[in-house]
Amino acid sequence: MRIIDADILSYALYDLSPYNARCKPIVLKALRGELELYVTHTTLLETYNVLYWSYRVRPRKQILRKLSVLLRGVTLISPSSRGFNIALSENMPLGDAILVATAVDNRIPIVISNDKHVHRLAEKYNLIIENPLTQQL
């Protein structure tokens, strides 16, 4: 059981990313049923926005098709509202706090992330971090 953050998902879906080769296998394993992967609505929206606004992927349909395929291989779960409290108490970005809270509340022990804020909270919340940019999954 793993939950994935928006940065890693963006790298996996953006073929021109220098990190694509390290992140895309995660999505492919999920699509083949080899990996139990969870994603929140928040992560999907963050990923969409990164692909559209930062990477300038056009047309929108291209992004939406990729996300639609992704949804065939992952479990979509609701983001935890407790993330707001974590963001405030830990002084961290809201999206990262929601990811951590969702993992904890749904007993998902592994977070796939390269984010320093998520890494900082991993021990406190008994989470395991997998960073495909620095390690093999």
Number of compact structural domains in the chain = 1
Which residues have CB under 8 Å from 59's CB, separation 6+?
none
Q: At 137, is the pLDDT very low, low, confident or very high (cuts 50, 70, 90)? A: low
Across-strand partners of 4? 112
Query: pTM for this structure?
Result: 0.96
Token representation of residue 44: 């999907």
Query: With the C-alpha atoms ordered 17, 2, 82, 69, is the resulting torsion angle positive or negative?
Result: positive
Summarize pLDDT for 70-117 with one digit per residue, the tens: 999 999 999 999 999 999 999 999 999 999 999 999 999 999 999 999
**CATH number where 43 lies:** 3.40.50.1010
The verdict on residue 135 lying in a domain is no
The verdict on residue 66 lying in a domain is yes
The verdict on residue 136 lying in a domain is no
Domain that holds residue 16: 2-130
